[in-house]
Structure 1
Amino acid sequence: MTTTEKDAQTADVQAPAIRPRTVLGKLPRYAAGKPPEVIDGLQSYKLSSNENPFPPLPAVLEAISKRQDINRYPDPLSTALRTELASFLDIPAEDIVTGGGSLGALNQILATFAGQDEHGVPDEVIYPWRSFEAYPISVGLSGADSVQVPLLPDGTHDLEAMAAAVTDRTRIILLCTPNNPTGPALTASQVENFLARVRSDVLVVIDEAYEDFVRDPEAVNGIEMYRRHPNVVVLRTFSKGAGLAGLRVGYSVSHPAVTQYLRVAAVPFAVSQLAETAAVTSLRHHGELVERIQGLVAERTRVVAGLKELGWRIPDAQGNFVWLDLGENTPEFAALAEQQALAVRAFGTEGIRVTIGEEGANTRFLAICATYTKGPRVS
């Protein structure tokens, strides 16, 4: 048979009606932060993905460069990392389950505890909104229903409304602190009061992806909550503070009554040898890491002070980003930043999240705000 005949035969084959699960048509698409435009004469900066602008510590880069065993599968239990974390956090290693970033760890929790009952009735997962944009995608794919509770005007969780939203179908509640993309962190007393109102058979997941940057002395510490409450699960990651976003390593912390099931649903080999080595080395050089993180916190303080001097109103910033409540002016400001070789993260007509980046990037961002007359002003 000639090539022409084969091509004709292939053209006659009817493609089957391949359809995905119906839930896919109802889910939003995850929109990753765009790279910056290349503008002649300007250094481009990416402030759209809440990445640490600096590479991993030199000791981390050296350690992963020595790994030669990537032809082998990694330890599925991430024993070295869990042992190091157990010492660092002063908790049992058995209470730690690793995953591909904190999102991977969250997906394991959802796959284990949220979906549909034996009659096909969906469970419910409650979370604040707007919050981490992967939440509705991950919850929907698990088979559960999302219950989104609007944030308060200051960008904080409406814990009163979240507690009131709990029903017999509620299986998981997500608390994002600091909240991405708005920035405020929950306080310890707020979370304690909230937990007192929630049934003990509902998992409360405290997502602390940005905990390295929190400086509010009243802010909740997820590990302390886990110590006191058997239904609390803590999510943390090495993506932000440690600068390991590209290696995808995170973990959850919970009691054995939870971890015994999480290990069943855990994705095998989710954390590579390189990721585990990088995370372990980061923990062993934590003092150096804290100095680097504090530099970003200092830049955040400078940016927040600069915005306030301009009369801009922003929520309390406890992550490595600030939130601009620009409403319908969101696309216009994003385009203006793009013209200045800055990539920021625009959310429709809700607002813009701007990552704290290099000093030059932050200075340029403030300069744009100084000339923009439609910012969220203090009333």
Structure 2
Amino acid sequence: MSELRVRADLAEVPAYKQGRSADAGDDRVIYKISSNENPYAPLPSVVDAVADALAGINRYPESAASALTARLAGRFGVAGEHLVFGAGSVEIVSQLMRATAGPGDEVLFAWRSFEAYPMLARAAGAVPVQVPLTADHRHDLPAMLAAITDRTRLVIVCNPNNPTGTTIGDAELRAFIDAVPPHLPVLIDEAYLHFNQRADSPAGIEYFRAYPNVVVAHTFSKAYGLAGVRVGYAIAPTTLAAAMRKVSVPFGVTSLAQVSAIASLDAEPELQERVDALVAERERVVSALTAAGWQLPETQTNFLWFPLGEHTADAMGVFDAHGLVVRGFPGEGLRATIAETEANDRLIAAATELRERELG
């Protein structure tokens, strides 16, 4: 019997691995702090809006997402034609890669960064070019500039960076984009924008206005707590936006996702209170870990990066023993989300134990 044929290059594409579930198999309360999810349940007003929309789920969603487009266009002062929607910002990144790159083309980004970047590039048929981070786990922008070739079709800057939490300042990003050839699209991925309190943090929307080749990606999954309904969006130049729509999945943003996003924009002051609480918890945890002897990379996100290298697997065992599911990157480190207060207390305890075992 002959073997069914698939694309040979897909052998180089790793499958995306979701953080494992918080199923302890015993009576312990397990906290899943591996996926950077917002620990708060949806606001009642958002739940009510979704409930009201359930009666219409026998109909296809509106592909143009007109109501959500109007809200975001007004918020950012852009024309609706600049807005593109997808099932989370990861799908926005995928659209942009498929709209700009093909076989033999290169997609350039820092590494380690969002783990979906290389697999999405390969899925588009392109070659991922991964530029190592600096010793302090930040984007090496001069090295990224040096890595641009005539085959480069897209450059991605993840700010703040996932999984390290580190950021780029306004002056260094401006110098970088000034030096990028103007025909080359630059994506500023701002999935963790709301948690970024760096004083000189660049605002992606301002770069979109200032540069003809800048695209900005946002998501409702993190600060807004809508990870389960999947809605993200790009603010892009007209030509790129039109190309992204051509490669998007039809009806990819469901009616419930659109309703959830609008209701969340309506409830933004309440959501900001939750963001503020998570940032306060982040600072509490960082202070406690610093007192315990840790010198972790800067974080302006809702997670921490532990650069543990060869000790990563052993360290994950310690977190597991404390009832915490974390995200490990073998041989590099692990990422832990700032979550419920009890989970954060356990995070402090587990990390303190690691220091005592000299695994950190």
- What TM-score, normalized by structure 1, do the two folds share? 0.92
Determine the C-alpha separation between the residues in 2 that align with 1:233 and 1:154. Answer: 26
Match runs of 1:1-379 below 5 Å: 14=1, 16-38=2-24, 40=26, 42-67=28-53, 68-116=55-103, 122-372=104-354, 373-374=356-357
Deviation (angstroms), 1:40:
4.7
Q: Which has the larger radius of gyration?
A: 1
Alpha-carbon distance, 1:168 to partner: 0.7
| Cα distance in 2, alignment partners of residues 178 and 376 from structure 1 | 26
Distance apart, 1:312 and its partner CA: 0.4
The alpha carbon displacement at 1:336 in A equals 1.4
Instruction: State the TM-score, normalized to the length of structure 2.
Output: 0.97
8 A Cα contact 2:99 2:240, kept in partner: no
Q: Does the 8 A contact of 2:308 with 2:332 survive in 1? A: yes
SS at match of 1:333: helix
Q: Could you list the runs of 5+ residues in structure 2 that have no partner in the other structure?
A: none
Structural RMSD (CA): 1.3
SS of residue paired to 1:98: strand
CA distance in 1: counterparts of 2:193 and 2:60, whole angstroms: 31
Return the offset for 1:217.
1.4
Shift in Å, 1:376: 7.3
Task: Encode CA deviations 1:59-99: one digit per residue, 9 max, x unaligned.
Answer: 10010001111111101111111111112222222210000
How far residue 271 of structure 1 moved from its aligned partner, in angstroms, is 0.5
Contact 1:131 1:179 in 2 (8 A): yes
Matched residue SS, 2:56? coil
Distance 1:374 1:155 in 2: 24
Q: Matched residues in 2 for 1:376 and 1:177: separation?
A: 29
Instruction: Give 1:263 shift.
Output: 2.0
Tell me the SS of whatever aligns to 1:226.
helix
Shift of 1:54: 1.0
**Cα pair 2:311 2:359 within 8 Å, conserved:** no
- Deviation of 1:274 (Å): 0.3
Aligned residue-pair number: 358
Deviation at 1:251, TM superposition (A): 0.5
- Pairwise CA distance, 1:257: 2.6
Q: Distance in 1 between matches of 2:22 and 2:49?
A: 31
Aligned residue for 1:18, secondary structure, equals coil
Partner of 1:6: none
Query: Structure 1: which 5+ runs fail to align?
Result: 1-13, 117-121
